[in-house]
């Protein structure tokens, strides 16, 4: 079965703390794609990153970084020096080769960054 698990329902941190959002996926396919989306309080969905299964290089974009480990089927997202504007729900999602047309979402992690 294809599945995305975000075990952390809610995380609360104080501004400037580093925080890691976990994402564990399940798929039997060797070709798949992983995504992260951000949903701020305003409700829209904002694309953050896409990674294919053949590219295990970690990626850094400003304060955001992603750690992809096929050995543990994880695609974790770290925010360094968090800011109040990072407060949002973050979704991890999966596209697998048996269902290239469908994006499967995890339940999301609500991040609250307090001043």
Partner 1 sequence: NAGVTQTPKFRILKIGQSMTLQCTQDMNHNYMYWYRQDPGMGLKLIYYSVGAGITDKGEVPNGYNVSRSTTEDFPLRLELAAPSQTSVYFCASSYSLTSSPLHFGNGTRLTVT
Taking the complex as a whole, the smallest distance from the CB of residue 22 to partner 1 amounts, in Å, to: 15
Under rule CB under 8 A, residue 101 binds partner 1: yes
CA dist 74 and 40 (Å) reads 23
Taking the complex as a whole, the smallest distance from the CB of residue 16 to partner 1 amounts, in Å, to: 27
CA dist 50 and 36 (Å) reads 7
Stretch that binds partner 1, among 18-26, 54-62, 72-80, 98-106 (CB under 8 A): 98-106
Under rule CB under 8 A, residue 50 binds partner 1: yes
Among 21, 23, 35, 82, binds partner 1 (CB under 8 A): 35
Under rule CB under 8 A, residue 105 binds partner 1: yes
Among 33, 65, 78, 112, binds partner 1 (CB under 8 A): 33
């Amino acid at each position: 079965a294809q599945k995305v698990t975000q075990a952390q329902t809610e995380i609360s941190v104080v501004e400037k703390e580093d925080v890691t959002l976990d994402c564990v996926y399940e798929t039997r396919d060797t070709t798949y794609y992983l995504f992260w989306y951000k949903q701020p309080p305003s409700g829209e969905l904002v694309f953050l990153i896409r990674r294919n299964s053949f590219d295990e290089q970690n990626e850094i974009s400003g304060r955001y970084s992603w750690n992809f480990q096929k050995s543990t089927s994880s695609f974790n997202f770290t925010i360094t020096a968090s800011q109040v504007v990072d407060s949002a729900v973050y979704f991890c999602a999966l596209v697998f080769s048996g269902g290239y047309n469908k994006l499967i979402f995890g339940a999301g992690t609500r991040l609250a960054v307090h001043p």
